[in-house]
Each structure stands twice: as structure tokens, then as C-alpha cells.
Structure 1
Amino acid sequence: METVALHGIVEGSGKELVLLHPIGLDSSFWGAMPAMLAHTHRVLRLDLRGFGGSPMGAQAAPIEAYAADVHRAIRRYGLERPAVLGLSFGGMVAQTLALDHPELVSRLILCGCPGGIPAEARSALRERGAAAEREGMDSIVPLTIERWFTPGFVENPVVERVRARLRGNSARAWSEGWQAISGFDALPRLGTLAVPALVVAGEKDAATSPAASATLAATIPHARLATLPGAPHMMQLETSGLFTETVGDFLAGRRVGTE
């Protein structure tokens, strides 16, 4: 399987943590969390293939290739067995990584993501990518922002950064990411996971429903589920403080959510 060398940023020292961002964003869209966690962790923020400073592959690839890229990056940056946190698309990549390389992941934090895409939804997700290739990245921005944030937050300056990042993406990278998402189905294998896991849901997530997050948590043995009040899909930006606190508590071994 072809892999690409991912761009990453390492901060801090201590226990290891890898951060995997949503589709269309990059490693700079984590709010204050990396700096906060760097006091106690060695944090590796990665740009997934085709986004930020990471190159695209030679052709469209399944989600397993995105996970293989992350595996290669973890080794290249000298990490041994990190906790892995993924949000949205990053959470799907994190699940795939943990299933394909169970020896590599010490803890799993899955935020705003399902365990699989229903067959009836796959063509609509592929079309989300194809629309950008036909009409340009500008065309997908309004509906994406609507899915990602609550109406009361859309005038926040961080949302304008998100808009600019989306507009600046390669339509091909966006489309290939949605193709990978459309084929994602980890649910049949999640029962094999044996690492501590936290599923984080946003109460107001319009992209991944709290019910989908609950199903994911119920499928992973002994996973805990934390639902963040008022949080949308981009919980790490709109509810940054609560998100960071929840993640930090789990990483520190403090009780979070429900089993």
C-alpha cells in the first residue's frame, strides 16, 4: 500500500499523544488543547494526506491508506505507543489504525465520529466530494459551516479561519477524503479492541449524531461515552475548554463519562 510522508508538529514531553484532524482542516485547528496537554504529554499533531503540509497520494485510496500514513509518521517521529485522538474523519482513521496496528495504540479517543457509514449514505458522501471537483471549494463552504458549528458561533473569528482553510484546499484531496469516508465500516471489528477508549459526542452535533456516537461506544469493549453539553461537530473549536478538560481527564486516568 502506497504511503505518504505526513507533515507533523511535536510539542512537549511525557506520555505520547497523536492528534488526527477532521477532513478539510489541518493540524492547526485544535484550539488551545495541544499547548495545554504539552505540559504533560509529547503531542504529535499530524496533517492527513492532501491537507496542510502533507502531500496527496498518487491516486484515491481507502481509509486504510490514511491509517498507514499515520503508522509511518508515528514511527518516523520516534513515538512508541501513543494515545491516539481523532475527530470526525480523524476519528475514523484512528479506529482503522487501532484495528490494523493494535500494538501501536495505548489509548483511543474518538470524537464526533461513527463506527461506520451506512450503505444508503455512501453515494451522498461521495457526491459531497464530487461537488467540489465540479464547482470548486467555495461551493461546499456554506453547508459545511452549517453542519460544523451552531448558529450562534458562526461569526466567531475562528470560523472565518475554517472558511479560509476550506477554500484553500485541493478539491481533489477533499473529494478523495470523502471517497475514503464513504467506504468506512469498522463496526464489525471494533469488538476486538482491547485498549482504554473514550468516545466524545457533541450534544448539538449536526454531522455525527449523539446516537451514532453512543452506538460506537457500545460496540467497543468497556469504552466510555462523554457527551459535551452544547457542543457541535467542531467541538474542539466551539467548546474548546470543555473538550480539553474532558480529554485531559481521560488521559490522566480520571473518571470521564459513562461505560
Structure 2
Amino acid sequence: MELANAHSSPAGTRYWRQGEGTPVVLIHGVGLDATMWQAQFAALSRQHDVIAYDMLGHGGSPLPGEGATLDDYARQLVELLDHLVVDKVAVLGFSMGALVARAFALNAPERLSALMILSSVFERDASQRAGIAQRIQQTIEQGPEANIDEALERWFSPAFRQEHAATVAAIHRTVCQNDPVGYARSYALFGTQDTYGVERLENLRAPTLVATGELDPGSTPSMAKRLAKRLPKAGVHVFPGQRHMVPVESPGVVNALALRFFATPHDVLEEAHS
């Protein structure tokens, strides 16, 4: 799972950039890095100027500081865009990357043209909070490999795990190679910030598509619907039969939806409401 020709910003953020057209930023999930977007990077860069980067604490980017917040992760993206002299972007954020995208959207709304939130958590219930709290503690005590096997079972369908063992193994390696401190700090934010900015969501005016897999146990369709209801210009798309890691397991359906949404966001949102 490699992308070619990595670059580094003055602040140390590792990123890739390819294509021409309206800019689109891809933000990966916790424990992963920008290489998870390989299929999306290739497809979207045929029509867009695509930027994929490693979040703080992941891949080749610096560790988050002690006490880092989602605002720090959002500032990382602002710094990268300033370095690239890119004023306004569409953003596709996956899982924790969707939380970072939300923070970016709320903190720098003038720099956002459209937002696609993919496989994101929102308003976990008591049982879900208890489960994630346990996993946070495991990552603190045991490192990134603490609960990766269980995660892969949640992320991918049994058929995909069996038929694409090499891809799943590569994801496993990526997660386990994370710096334990950076991973623990990032995972703690992923586990606790599902309601980040909830009181300000009504101010998010960019067209927003909230999408998730029908069978995603952690980022459920009901979460997607609740989040979209809080946003003034949002719609929901549920991928039939998909689990959490839909951009890797079924990249074609994600690519097709993203290309349509970023080209004609209002048309896609109208369809989502019909």
C-alpha cells in the first residue's frame, strides 16, 4: 500500500499531491496513514487536485503534543494548505479523519467548499462509550497492537478478510507500526470526541454528505442520520452491505459517490433527501 513521491511541509507533515482541478483533501482514520487512500487518490486525481496527508502521530508526520486536541489536528491541515498556497478545498474525512474534517470545517469555514464525512462516529450511546473506553485503556497499556485483530473483524467483511488477506495484513502492519505515544493520544481523541462542536454544527454551511456502511457497528447509519440532521445542508448515503473500511473493501462505490458529490454537491444532496 504505497503512494509515490511523498513530500514534507515545513512543519513536517508528510503528504502526497496529484492531479489538476478543484482541490480535494483526503484525511485517513486512526492508526492508518494516507496510503489507505490509494484507490481514491488514483481515481479522484483524474478530475481533481488531490492532497492526501498523514495526520499527527501517523505515518511520516510529527507526534501530537501532550494534551493535543482535535483543533491541533485541524491546524495541521491549515498549515499544509498554507504551505501549498491552496485557499479553499473539498474534504473527504474517514473515521477519525472525519472528526478532524469536522474540526477543520468549524474552525476554518471560509476554506471549505464541500465536506464528505465517511464512516464517522457521532453521539455514542452508553454501551458504545464503555467499549471504546476499554479500548483506549488497552492502547495505553499495550500499544497499537492491543486490539487490532478485533478491529479488523469489525472493519472488514469475513469474505474480504479471506479473499484479500494481503491487504488486511498490510493494514495490520500499518496500525502496529505506529508510535505508541502518538497512537494513544490520537486514539483517545477518536474515542472521546464524537460530539465535538455539536453546539456549532448548525453554523456549518458547506454542503455535507454523511456516508457510512449499512453494517458498520461503530459508525452506524443511525449515527450518520443524527449527524446530518444537525447540519443545515446535509444528506445521508448508506452503502448497502458494507462495513467500516468501505474505501478499502469497496473503493469503486466510494470513488463514484465522491466524484459525483464533489462535482455537483447540491444534486447529490437532493438525491439523498428523495
TM-score normalised by the shorter chain: which range applies?
Answer: over 0.9
1:33 aligns with 2:40: yes
Deviation of 1:119 (Å): 7.2
2:202 is aligned with 1:191: yes
Contact 2:144 2:184 in 1 (8 A): no
Report the CA distance between 1:125 and its aligned residue.
2.9
Q: For 1:70-109, what aligned pairs fall within 5 Å after superposition? A: 70-109=77-116
- How far 1:187 moved relative to its partner? 2.1
C-alpha deviation, 1:232, in angstroms? 1.1
Tell which deviates more after alignment, 58-67 or 123-132: 123-132
Displacement, 1:222?
Answer: 2.4
Partner of 2:235: 224
Give a deviation string over 1:116-171, Cα, whole Å, max 9, x none.
45577556434423312312333211111112111221131211110111111122
- Give the conservation status (yes or no) of the 8 Å contact 2:92–2:115: yes
TM-score (norm 2): 0.88
Shift in Å, 1:245: 0.4
AA paired with 1:165? Answer: T
Residue pairs, 1:150-169, within 5 angstroms: 150-155=157-162, 156=164, 157-169=166-178
Q: Secondary structure at the residue paired with 1:225?
A: strand
Q: Give the drift of 1:105.
A: 0.6
Deviation of the 1:4 alpha carbon: 5.2
What SS does structure 1 have at the residue aligned with 2:65? coil
| Partner-residue secondary structure (3-state), 1:25 | coil
Q: Secondary structure at the match of 1:28?
A: helix
Gaps of 5+ in 2: 1-9
* Residue in structure 2 matched with residue 68 of structure 1 by the alignment: 75
Aligned residues: 257
Helix, strand or coil at the partner of 1:95: helix
Residue type matched to 2:256 in 1? E
Partner of residue 13, structure 2: 6
The alignment's C-alpha RMSD in Å is 1.9
> Unpaired runs of 5+ in structure 1?
none
CA distance, structure 2, for counterparts of residue 195 and residue 8 of structure 1? 25
Distance 2:122 2:218 in 1: 14
Identity of matched residues, % = 28
Q: Secondary structure at the match of 2:209?
A: strand
- Structure 1 residues 113 and 141: CA distance shift in structure 2, 3 A: same
Distance 2:237 2:194 in 1: 23
The corresponding residue for 2:4 is none
Check conservation: 1:150, 1:204, Cα contact below 8 A: no
Q: Deviations over 1:80-123 (max 9, x none)?
A: 10001100000011011100111111110100113445577556
How far apart are residue 19 of structure 1 and its match? Answer: 0.5
TM-score (normalised: structure 1) = 0.92
Q: 1:172 aligns with which of 168, 178, 181?
A: 181
Distance across 2 between alignment mates of 1:128 and 1:219:
28
User: Hey, what's the Cα distance between the residues in 2 that align with 1:183 and 1:232?
Assistant: 21
Secondary structure (helix, strand or coil) at the match of 1:201 reads: strand
**Residues 37 and 52, structure 2, Cα contact 8 Å, conserved in 1:** no
Which of structure 1's runs of 4+ aligned residues deviate more than 4 A? 116-124
